[in-house]
Structure 1
Amino acid sequence: MRDGPKPGRRCGWQKMSMERNKTEQPFVVCHMLASLDGKIDGAFFAAPQTALALKVYGELRGFYGCQATLYGTTTMLGGYADRKVSPFPANGKGLPKEDWVNPAGKEMGNFIIAVDPAGELAYSGSTLEKKGRPAAHVIEMLTQQASPAYLAYLQERGVSYLFAGKERLDCALLLQKLYRQFGIDKLMLAGGGIVNGSFLAEGLVDEFSLVVAPVADGGSGVASFAQADFLPHWPPAAFHLKSAQTPQPDVLWLCYTKA
């Protein structure tokens, strides 16, 4: 970055992290890149003026040093999972709907968490790797909707999975399991808007990091936090502004902690 992040102005990370760990849950930072009109996807990503904002966003991922990044189903399909799985034939294994951890994957210490309530995402293996990022072990977060056949599919590929909820995700339980079973104490929440909103609704977003690109496209893309028709309505959530920086020309980085 031009000036680099300023640790002295940072959002109370160490204090909040210690408080969160007393409850055996990771510290959660929601880190997003948005357009001037508040969208987190859309045509603005392809604009040349967004390039520096993307650079800042990527550098801040390293700055936060989270062991895990969590994505919703739609975001996983957009760039991480292979596709949705085809319908499964009847499977004779009858695997119980219990957590399963791949020991080799756990040892990697770097994770991508896929929120996949019904068990739909397809993988070719147990790790994912993006350019410029270390390889990460995949952990599927499921509800009781997932089929035993899908569990067998994940085990065959070495993908760990945890259950958190009956029909909809229990975000607090999810965090507790990630902390207890994988030792994750810093987690980055990275979209989409509905999964971000689910954590916000449960009061689990400790910090909100927003990189604003100097571009607006007027599109219909989703915002950083979105209400979902199939989830309980949640009231407005307040934050305190802790810092505002311009790490690159025309690029704004806003850092908030929850009120």
Structure 2
Amino acid sequence: MSRPRIICHMHTLLNGKIDGIANPTSVGMRSQKLYFDLFLGKDRFYKEHRGWISGSGTSRAILGDKPAIELPEPYEPVPAGDFIADPDATMHYFAVDRSGSLQWEQGSFSYFDVEAHIVELIPASVSDAFKAHLRSVGVSYIIAGDEQLDMAEAVRKIGETFNTEEIILGGGGTLNWSMLRDGLCDEVSIVMMPIADGEKHTHSLFEADEKYSAPLPIGFSLASVEPLEDGSVWMRYGVNGPVDAN
């Protein structure tokens, strides 16, 4: 099958940042709930997906400041191929993990009132010790690419494995940009909260990283603008692609 439609759905400050000291304020949290409701709420706008993709930085924030441990080699060979720990899960958190470094301790977590089953996106080169660890804690994984993670293959396999024609892309900025740059994003949805904090070293909606993708002018077409509660604004854009210099 062809890959699912991918919507980059993000929550930003007025100055375009996606993290910082404004997020945990009362204004930031109310706006974040509006963002959440659009793709995970009971009357959500985005209805066709089975979960959202996030990068390793977002996953480490979920894991917290826990030191990595040396994983023991498995007693038996790990079966080849993908592993789905919870085939009955209704919502999934697809964690990009290019090196096999996210040491989850359980197979799911709660975001507001939604329980999301964790599915790691890893290359085949990840160690059997890491794969055995994921199996032991009930975390699923999808293998895409040999030495390096192949995101085009990963999203195709998500669509096939979970029978979905839509995926939410949920940051961070480096993952958002690399997928946009590689033609793996069809729509950008932004809930912009009415608050800014002036921080310089926080992350933006899209950020190029020389390891994954270079800067490039990419154009968008405005699809809709809608005011939300508390002064937040919801904007949707179609992706037009690279813009010529002339």
Q: Match for residue 226 of structure 1?
A: 207
1:184-222 alpha-carbon deviations (Å, 9 max, x no partner): 222111111111112111111111110111111121211
Q: Match for residue 203 of structure 1?
A: 183
Question: Equivalent of 1:78, from 46, 61, 78?
Answer: 61
Distance 2:238 2:75 in 1: 49
Distance 1:120 1:84 in 2: 11
Aligned 8 A contact 1:117 1:145 in 2: no
Specify whether residues 93 and 85 from structure 1 end up closer, same or farther in structure 2 by C-alpha distance, changes over 3 A only: farther
TM-score normalised to structure 1 length = 0.83
Q: How far 1:83 moved relative to its partner?
A: 4.2
1:99-145 alpha-carbon deviations (Å, 9 max, x no partner): 2223xx12223211111111111223222223321x22211100134
Q: Match for residue 193 of structure 1?
A: 173
Aligned 8 A contact 1:82 1:121 in 2: no
Distance 1:156 1:60 in 2: 34
Q: CA RMSD in A?
A: 2.0
Question: Equivalent of 2:78, from 85, 95, 101?
Answer: 95
Distance 1:25 1:80 in 2: 29
Specify whether residues 186 and 252 from structure 1 end up closer, same or farther in structure 2 by C-alpha distance, changes over 3 A only: same
Aligned 8 A contact 2:78 2:128 in 1: yes
Question: Equivalent of 2:98, from 117, 121, 124?
Answer: 117
**Identity of aligned pairs, percent?**
29
Distance 1:139 1:27 in 2: 19
Q: Structure 2 matches for 1:139-218, cutoff 5 A?
A: 139-218=119-198
Specify whether residues 95 and 214 from structure 1 end up closer, same or farther in structure 2 by C-alpha distance, changes over 3 A only: same
Aligned 8 A contact 1:83 1:121 in 2: no
Could you tell me which runs of 5 or more consecutive residues in structure 2 were left unpaired when the two chains were aligned. Answer: 241-246
Specify whether residues 189 and 81 from structure 1 end up closer, same or farther in structure 2 by C-alpha distance, changes over 3 A only: farther
Q: Match for residue 219 of structure 2?
A: 238
Q: Match for residue 36 of structure 1?
A: 14
Specify whether residues 227 and 96 from structure 1 end up closer, same or farther in structure 2 by C-alpha distance, changes over 3 A only: farther
SS of match in other structure, 1:149? helix
Specify the code of the residue in structure 2 equivalent to 1:73: S
Q: Match for residue 33 of structure 2?
A: 55
Distance 1:170 1:184 in 2: 19
Specify whether residues 82 and 216 from structure 1 end up closer, same or farther in structure 2 by C-alpha distance, changes over 3 A only: closer
Aligned 8 A contact 2:16 2:204 in 1: yes
Aligned 8 A contact 2:178 2:213 in 1: no
Specify whether residues 256 and 155 from structure 1 end up closer, same or farther in structure 2 by C-alpha distance, changes over 3 A only: same
Specify the code of the residue in structure 2 equivalent to 1:178: I
Aligned 8 A contact 2:73 2:128 in 1: no
